[in-house]
Amino acid sequence: MELSVNDTPAYLYTGGRPFDRQLPVVVLIHGAGHDHSVWNYQARRLAHHGFAVLAPDLPGHGRSQGSPLPTIEALADWVEALLDAAGVVHAALAGHSMGSLVALQTAAQAPARITKLILIGSVAPMPVAPPLLEAAAHARDAAHGMINQWSYTPASQLGASPVPGISLTGLNQRLMERQRAGVLANDLAACNAYLGGLDAAARIAVPCAMLCGERDQMTPRKAVKPLQEALAKVPGGARMIVIKGAGHAMMAEAPDAVGDAMRGFLTSA
Amino acid sequence: MTQPKTFGPETLALHAGQSPDPAFGARAAPIYFTTSYVFPDTDHAAELFNLERPGHVYTRISNPTNAMLEERIAALEGGVGAIAVASGQAALHLAITTLMGTGGHIVASHALYGGSHNLLAYTLPRFGITTTFVDPHDPDAWRAAVRPETRLFFGESLGNPGLDVLDIPAVADIAHAHRLPLLVDATLVTPCLQRPLALGADLVLHSATKFLGGHGVAVGGLLVDGGRFDWEASGLFPTLTEPYDGFHGMDFAEESPIAAFLLRARREGLRDFGACLSPMNAFQILQGMETLPLRMRAHVANARKVAEHLAAHPLVAHVAWPGLASHRDHALAARLLPDGAGSVLSFELKGGRAAGRAFIEGLRVFSHLANVGDAKSLVIHPASTTHFRMSAQDLAAAGIGEGTVRLSVGLESVDDLIEDLNRGLYAAGRVVQG
């Protein structure tokens, strides 16, 4: 569906079910250079099991109009504006990679609105390797190649895909190519520049799950620890869920395990 | 700076799409000879049907062995995915019916495999889908043939049997200027000699029966989606951009902006028309693909020697193989097929039909049959077999003469092949001399 957010048309995928704001709302925020389609299976899973799903294309991405927003803070403001535009008072947030920083920042600046938080493939801060920043700005194809190599496990790059007949890395390559010029460079620069993640985490006081790919090279398990520890006010502490065998692109590599973890966490007390 | 690793075609041909069997560790591709798959519980079943989970429900729609084949060809072609079907003809049919219905129109090269020409010229018009055939070398002809209802450009990498080289970048540019996709039949080149998606094509099909299998034991087809064509931006493809009542009211381009075509083709065309591939055939084609890069190099090397030998023979009027400087598309082949112009070639015997018959009957190593792309060398007389339904005018338009002989040069010792051809040429010579 389409909504006007800050007077600019924004596209939202609702998981194959009409959006019903009377149901518990969950917002799924994609990562750098991506769009809503990275959430296909998880969005459909939640939408068919009692949730109202909003998986936006962030500004300037996919079908959403406007320019890509240059900072994580600006993206968090946009998510708040999206909730307003959708008439949503309370929502759970889930984000992947860059989207996880947006979710974290949104939850920190709008604590009364956010009920639960799911951070997928998340670290804070999220420094981006200089060669990748450089390639994203000046040699997109090379940047796409690096992201594919570092986001998917060797088994995913060469072996069988969970989705019959689909090449996961081929699909991701084209999805990144489909985004407008400058989008990936903008997004990676926003990740790299966001230094408020640990402070934001310290203000989170709602249940939080962290999904980490067992073989994630982009945001490896060891690097997740500072963020997990900073989430000190989360009741019971942030729950770490390791997605077995998966890399950074875990929604694609392990769609069932990620869907199970998200649904389980969102339906738990 | 760390450079991303990309796998070479030899590695992809052996590994892409197949992980060691998680149940027993089998290294070879298991044949999942099953029609259906047990659901752990009713919720799981519903989730599979609703596309909340990926997975297999029924082998007509997907099968684990077929998926290995699909992912392997997708990796080799540089596509986002593929669908395995019962034959190359089924792949062409699936591509067309996914993109258009009655009233749809196709612009196609006139240098096509006879079966494809038959489908487009005679069979599909009965269902309201028509085709305009054009000279593949004439850009203006492609442009002029476009109508408001056109939905697809179609050609062969190497036009069978005249061996015309399709200028994929040029034809793709024309298609894209009209917001249309280009489908290329790459059967005669395989991804080892040409990757049409990298040259601008949007969809690629193969008769996997030919070089991909290479053994001549299994019929199969593959349809690969490059994932670059923006169906939504084109605005000409409601089958992909509007809700489909036949599958959860799904708008396929909304669901997957990149793989919408494959989604609809599998969830409608494969499901409803039912031209699925047997997992046994998928396994056999996978076995062939493991050695595809090695075989294609050897095919090309043999084809070059055979072509050069025939071209120098006094009984041969003309040899059509783009690897020869005499071929009209030689320069184009050097650009688009730098690793070789395949191993199918045709030549015109002096002495017409009678000489052709004597030639074929004089051969002992070449097998006289209606196929190409086998590891064994094959020979046929198109005018009386593969293209027999075509009128004399259509034959001429496709570059086929009455004395045209088509060879599919195999992997035998090339000296044995040349000796065999000499045997046939001697027999033909006796006819010519009376």
Kindly determine whether residue B5 and residue A161, on different chains, have CB atoms separated by under 8 Å. no
Q: Which of B1, B84, B228 comes nearest A131 by C-beta? A: B1
Residues 207-266 on A with a CB inside 8 Å of B are 255-256, 259
> CA A3, CA B366: separation in Å to the nearest integer?
67
CA atoms within 13 A on the CB side of A62: 28
Please check the confidence at residue A256 and state whether its pLDDT lies above 90: yes
Classified as helix, coil or strand, B82 is strand
State pLDDT tens for residues A90-131.
999 999 999 999 999 999 999 999 999 999 999 999 999 999
Kindly determine whether residue B81 and residue A165, on different chains, have CB atoms separated by under 8 Å. yes
DSSP state of B250: B
Q: Where are the domains of chain B?
A: 11-289, 292-433
Disruptive mutation site among B7, B52, B57, B195 for chain A (greatest number of A CBs within 10 Å): B52
Does A62 reach chain B within 8 Å, measured CB to CB?
Answer: yes
The better pLDDT of the pair A49, B434 is held by A49
Q: Which of A45, A145, A159 comes nearest B4 by C-beta? A: A145
Q: pLDDT tens for chain B, 434 residues: list them.
A: 455 568 999 999 999 999 888 889 999 999 999 999 999 999 999 999 999 999 999 999 999 999 999 999 999 999 999 999 999 999 999 999 999 999 999 999 999 988 999 999 999 999 999 999 999 999 999 999 999 999 999 999 999 767 999 999 999 999 999 999 999 999 999 999 999 999 999 999 999 999 999 999 999 999 999 999 999 999 999 999 999 999 999 999 999 999 999 999 999 999 999 999 999 999 999 999 999 999 999 999 999 999 999 999 999 999 999 999 999 999 999 999 999 999 999 999 988 778 888 999 999 999 999 889 999 999 997 766 766 666 667 767 766 777 789 999 999 999 999 999 999 999 999 988 87
Does A148 reach chain B within 8 Å, measured CB to CB?
Answer: yes
Separation in Å, CA of A231 to nearest CA in chain B: 31
Kindly determine whether residue B262 and residue A161, on different chains, have CB atoms separated by under 8 Å. no
> CA B307, CA B231: separation in Å to the nearest integer?
43
Kindly determine whether residue A165 and residue B74, on different chains, have CB atoms separated by under 8 Å. yes
> CA B115, CA B221: separation in Å to the nearest integer?
14
Kindly determine whether residue B51 and residue A164, on different chains, have CB atoms separated by under 8 Å. no
Does A146 reach chain B within 8 Å, measured CB to CB?
Answer: yes
Unique residue bearing structure tokens 């917002």: A27
Closest residue by Cα to residue B285 from B58, B31, B11: B31
Kindly determine whether residue A166 and residue B64, on different chains, have CB atoms separated by under 8 Å. no
pLDDT at B66: 98
Kindly determine whether residue A45 and residue B47, on different chains, have CB atoms separated by under 8 Å. yes
Complete DSSP assignment for chain A:
-EEEETTEEEEEE-TTS---TTSPEEEEE--TT--GGGGHHHHHHHHTTT-EEEEEPPTTSTT--SPPPSSHHHHHHHHHHHHHHTT-S-EEEEEETHHHHHHHHHHHH-TTTEEEEEEES--SS----HHHHHHHHH-HHHHHHHHHHHHS-HHHHHS--SSTTB-HHHHHHHHHHHSPTTHHHHHHHHHHH---HHHHHHT--S-EEEEEETT-SSS-HHHHHHHHHH-TTSTT-PEEEEETT--S-HHHHSHHHHHHHHHHHHH--
Kindly determine whether residue B255 and residue A37, on different chains, have CB atoms separated by under 8 Å. yes
Q: Which of A158, A164, A175 comes nearest B54 by C-beta? A: A164
Residues 74-133 on A with a CB inside 8 Å of B are 131
CB B49 within 8 A of CB B57: yes
Unique residue bearing structure tokens 């396929």: B252
Q: Which of B18, B46, B83 comes nearest A165 by C-beta? A: B83
> CA B192, CA B9: separation in Å to the nearest integer?
7
Residues of chain B contacting A170 with CB distance shorter than 8 Å: 74-75, 78-81, 227
Q: Which of A40, A148, A255 comes nearest B256 by C-beta? A: A40
Q: Which of B15, B228, B230 comes nearest A158 by C-beta? A: B15
Other beta carbons less than 10 A from residue B361's beta carbon: 11
Q: Which of A45, A63, A149 comes nearest B5 by C-beta? A: A149
Longest dimension (CA), chain A: 47
Does A159 reach chain B within 8 Å, measured CB to CB?
Answer: yes
Q: Which of A13, A161, A166 comes nearest B254 by C-beta? A: A13
Instruction: Classify B11-289 by CATH class.
Output: alpha beta
State pLDDT tens for residues A203-233.
999 999 999 999 999 999 999 999 999 999 9
Kindly determine whether residue A171 and residue B258, on different chains, have CB atoms separated by under 8 Å. yes
Kindly determine whether residue B75 and residue A174, on different chains, have CB atoms separated by under 8 Å. no
Kindly determine whether residue A41 and residue B54, on different chains, have CB atoms separated by under 8 Å. yes
Q: Which CATH number does B292-433 carry?
A: 3.90.1150.10
Separation in Å, CA of A46 to nearest CA in chain B: 8
Count, in order, helices (H) and strands (E) of chain B. 20, 14
Residues of chain A contacting B71 with CB distance shorter than 8 Å: 160-161, 165-167
Mean pLDDT of A238-242: 96
pLDDT at B1: 42
Question: What are the residues whose beta carbons fall under 8 Å from the beta carbon of A193, sequence distance 6 or more?
Answer: A71, A72
Q: Which of B16, B51, B80 comes nearest A171 by C-beta? A: B80
Residues of chain A contacting B3 with CB distance shorter than 8 Å: 142, 145
Q: Which CATH number does A2-267 carry?
A: 3.40.50.1820
Alpha helices in B85-160 (DSSP H): 88-99, 114-118, 139-145
pLDDT interval class at A243 (50, 70, 90): very high
Closest residue by Cα to residue B94 from B226, B269, B335, B244: B269
Kindly determine whether residue A174 and residue B227, on different chains, have CB atoms separated by under 8 Å. yes
Q: Where are the domains of chain A?
A: 2-267
Kindly determine whether residue B52 and residue A166, on different chains, have CB atoms separated by under 8 Å. no
Please name the residue of chain A whose CA is at the shortest distance from the CA of residue B78.
A170
Residues of chain A contacting B62 with CB distance shorter than 8 Å: 164-165
Please check the confidence at residue A145 and state whether its pLDDT lies above 70: yes
Residues of chain B contacting A165 with CB distance shorter than 8 Å: 62, 66-67, 70-71, 74, 81-84, 262, 266
> CA A247, CA A215: separation in Å to the nearest integer?
5
Does A1 reach chain B within 8 Å, measured CB to CB?
Answer: no
Mean pLDDT of chain A: 97
Please name the residue of chain B whose CA is at the shortest distance from the CA of residue A39.
B255
> CA B218, CA B208: separation in Å to the nearest integer?
8
Question: What are the residues whose beta carbons fall under 8 Å from the beta carbon of A198, sequence distance 6 or more?
Answer: A124, A125, A226, A227, A230
Size of interface A-B (CB pairs under 8 A): 133
Kindly determine whether residue B74 and residue A131, on different chains, have CB atoms separated by under 8 Å. no
Q: Which of A48, A62, A166 comes nearest B50 by C-beta? A: A48
Kindly determine whether residue B7 and residue A177, on different chains, have CB atoms separated by under 8 Å. no
Cα dist. B387→B161, B162, B383, B396 in Å? 9, 12, 5, 11
